[in-house]
Amino acid sequence: MGGGWRWAAVVGAAMLLSACGESTDGDSDDAAGGPGPWPTDSVKDYATAYGIGSGVRSVGVDEAHNIWLLRGAEIGVLRPGDTAPTWTRGVGQAAEGFGRDKKALGSTVICGGKAGRAYVGYQTYELQPEVPDKPHAYIPAPGEPHYTAARFAEYQKGDLDAVRMESDGTVALEEHLWRSVGVSGGSQQLGLRNTNDFHYDEDRSVLTCARVMRGRDKGDLYIGTNHGVTLVRGLTYNSHRHAAWYADGDSLQAGFNWGLGIGPDGEVLVANDWMVGILEPNGVLEDFDKERTWDGPVPWRYKGHNAQLNSLAAFDYWRAIARTKQGVTWVGSRDYGLWRMAQQDRSSASYTRLTTLPSDHVTSLAAVDSGGVYVGTNDAGLWRIEKDGETLTRVDTVGGDQVLQLVYDPTVKPAMLYVLTDTGLTVLRED
């Protein structure tokens, strides 16, 4: 396997952060490229070494390098120095259990935030049309025509929790996110809604998340939802942007946004069931949802579809997207394998399928600083594409055929790649 993986001694106790997970500021040794508090073995089975067990569906890491684990209604935290995670059950949207009559149908993803904080995403069902002449997501407020208490209660379902770690490692709800930068930022704590108009409850299911780990926007969190991509800064959000198209001239086709990544220059990479997009944020939270396509404060650097694969109206089922330091963009499909995108202009690109990957089912992608790209599949394990964009190698040191998630942390040296599979959690470290 290429890429400079090496074996090294376990970091000594002197390198450990405090048990409560408090981090130093941005000028810390870790931020400057120190080894951080975890072992520097080139390959380490965390599931076995730390008693994580089975059934974990998502993993995240916060700025203090606490490892967060999501297993249904349970949230686990593995702190530097711990021998096993501390698990807490029934926090936030999971407090009543899961079901159609509950706050969520289930949990989906977890992403680390600042030291001792994480964000937990949930899914729920799609709203059906009930208000005359209004889209399906429209919810009237009290005193407005067609208001019902049952419809208004839909605001409480799905969305995103911010949770915090207590001093003993247990987890408590910090806040169910509701603070919008726009007209939806009223006094009622309703969850995520369209920032431009609170009546539209369009981000009910969180499908994926990615934290900006370095650069100007370090600490910002992006979530992919059933309607687009939302930016979260602390406990405040701006919702949302989507790579969308119009059917029959006036029917917006937004797509579920499963693919999400952060490019080498801080660009936001998005991929939904139909389209691929690259957004160029300007660092201003209030500007994120200002859709002016190629202009405006947060323009699309690219927005288009893979004409080599399907018509625009047909699903491409994009599930992952990554971009290398060399500017090469890769997108992975649930059903159609891995594709390399060569952008031609702002709305068109040529796509080439990597036919040597022995799977049509890509689940996750991670571009690493050495120029390589890791490819998670649903049935053939983990693979690595070298810097040349052609050489493909199976990563045999990682067990499991189904890769659930890849999380890359370049703030430590050697960098850490968290690989969550159907058999457990493995961490790779790269020089």
Cα(29)–Cα(33) distance, rounded to whole angstroms? 6
**DSSP calls for 119-162:** EEEEE-PPPPP-STTS-TTB-PPTTSTT--HHHHGGGGSSSEEE
Phi/psi of residue 427, nearest 5 degrees: -115, 130
Cα(365)–Cα(161) distance, rounded to whole angstroms? 25
Q: pTM of this prediction?
A: 0.92
Cis before 240 (ω within 30) = yes
pLDDT above 70 covers what percent of the chain?
92
Cα(111)–Cα(62) distance, rounded to whole angstroms? 7
What sign has the CA pseudo-torsion 386, 391, 395, 396? Answer: negative
State whether residue 288 is helix, strand or coil.
coil
**DSSP calls for 161-214:** EEEEE-TTS-EEEEEE--EESSTT-SSS------TT-TTB-----EEEEEE--S
Cα–Cα distances (Å) from 117 to 26, 44, 110, 170, in that order, read: 16, 25, 10, 12
Tokens of 44: 């380490």
Cα(310)–Cα(117) distance, rounded to whole angstroms? 41
Confidence class for position 409, pLDDT limits 50, 70, 90: very high
Tokens of 213: 């780990």
Confidence class for position 19, pLDDT limits 50, 70, 90: very low
Q: For the chain, give the mean pLDDT.
A: 91
Cα(278)–Cα(271) distance, rounded to whole angstroms? 9
The per-residue pLDDT for range 212-260, each reduced to its tens digit, is 999 999 999 999 999 999 999 999 999 999 999 999 878 889 999 999 9
* Mean per-residue pLDDT, 34-38: 96
State whether residue 422 is helix, strand or coil.
coil
* Mean per-residue pLDDT, 199-205: 91
The pLDDT of residue 189 is 84
Cα–Cα distances (Å) from 40 to 30, 87, 382, in that order, read: 13, 25, 20
Phi-psi region of 4 (alpha: psi -120 to 50; beta: other; left: phi over 0): left
- Between 161 and 12, the more confident residue is 161
Position 25 pLDDT exceeds 50: no
Position 18 pLDDT exceeds 50: no
The pLDDT of residue 188 is 75
Residue position matching structure tokens 């995108």: 341
Cis before 135 (ω within 30) = no
User: Among 205, 210, 14, which Cα is nearest to 121's?
Assistant: 205
The per-residue pLDDT for range 88-147, each reduced to its tens digit, is 999 999 999 999 999 999 999 999 999 999 999 999 999 988 999 998 889 998 999 999
